[in-house]
């Protein structure tokens, strides 16, 4: 399979999520802003996704601010800068042959679901391992 261009990523994102703001930030990078609700009982989370053809996708929650749980534990599966840890880069779980709308967006919603469960139970039920972005 071939790698998708930024124009193809944008077209695919706009097709699947027309409610999101999707734009070029340069000829080889893009930015997506939108809102996700992991369940019908969830609050709406505003996110920002930045992606280019060199680095890994970087996604963060803009609003509401992510917070520690009632026990004061740090939020699991976050990189510095409040970037979400959605997959294991070391194992190639996201590839440039994948569309962001089919991977990163659903994984973000799933991360938010596990974040809400963590607040209720004190346990991160999403599994995974926290590795560096490299």
Q: pLDDT tens, 25-47?
A: 987 899 999 999 999 999 999 99
Question: Residue 126: inside a domain, yes or no?
Answer: no
Question: Residue 127: inside a domain, yes or no?
Answer: no
User: Contacts for 13-18 with beta carbons within 8 Å, 24 or more apart?
Assistant: 13/99, 13/100, 13/101, 13/105, 15/101, 16/101, 16/102, 16/105, 17/101, 17/105
Question: Residue 89: inside a domain, yes or no?
Answer: yes
Least confident of 28-32, 59-63, 127-131: 127-131
pLDDT score recorded for residue 108: 98
pLDDT score recorded for residue 132: 45
Q: Please state, in angstroms and rounded to a whole number, the distance separating the CA atoms of residues 115 and 31.
A: 23
Q: Please state, in angstroms and rounded to a whole number, the distance separating the CA atoms of residues 67 and 63.
A: 11
**Residue 114 is part of a domain; what is its CATH number?**
3.10.110
**Could you list the residue range(s) of the whole structural domain that residue 33 is in?**
6-121
Mean pLDDT, the chain, integer: 92
Single pTM value for the model: 0.92
Question: Residue 11: inside a domain, yes or no?
Answer: yes
Question: Residue 23: inside a domain, yes or no?
Answer: yes
Question: Residue 111: inside a domain, yes or no?
Answer: yes
CA atoms within 13 A on the CB side of 15: 10
pLDDT score recorded for residue 133: 44
Pairing between β-strand 29-36 and β-strand 58-63 as defined by DSSP bridges: unpaired
Question: Residue 102: inside a domain, yes or no?
Answer: yes
Greater confidence (91 vs 23) lies with: 23
Number of domains in the chain: 1
Q: Please state, in angstroms and rounded to a whole number, the distance separating the CA atoms of residues 95 and 122.
A: 32
Question: Residue 133: inside a domain, yes or no?
Answer: no
Query: If residue 12 lies in a helix (H) or strand (E), which one and from where to where?
Result: helix 6-16
Q: Is the dihedral of CA 67, 52, 128, 80 positive or negative?
A: negative
């Amino acid at each position: 399979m071939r790698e998708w261009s930024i124009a193809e990523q944008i077209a695919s994102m706009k097709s699947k999520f027309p409610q999101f703001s999707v734009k070029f930030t340069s000829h080889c990078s893009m930015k997506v802003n939108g809102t996700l609700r992991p369940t019908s009982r969830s609050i709406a989370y505003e996110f920002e996704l930045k992606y280019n053809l060199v680095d890994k996708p970087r996604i963060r929650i803009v609003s509401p601010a992510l917070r520690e749980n009632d026990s004061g534990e740090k939020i699991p599966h976050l990189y510095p800068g409040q970037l979400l840890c959605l997959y294991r880069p070391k194992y190639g779980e996201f590839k440039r042959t994948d569309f962001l709308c089919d991977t990163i967006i659903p994984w973000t919603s799933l991360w938010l679901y596990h974040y809400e469960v963590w607040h209720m139970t004190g346990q991160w039920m999403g599994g995974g391992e926290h590795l560096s972005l490299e």
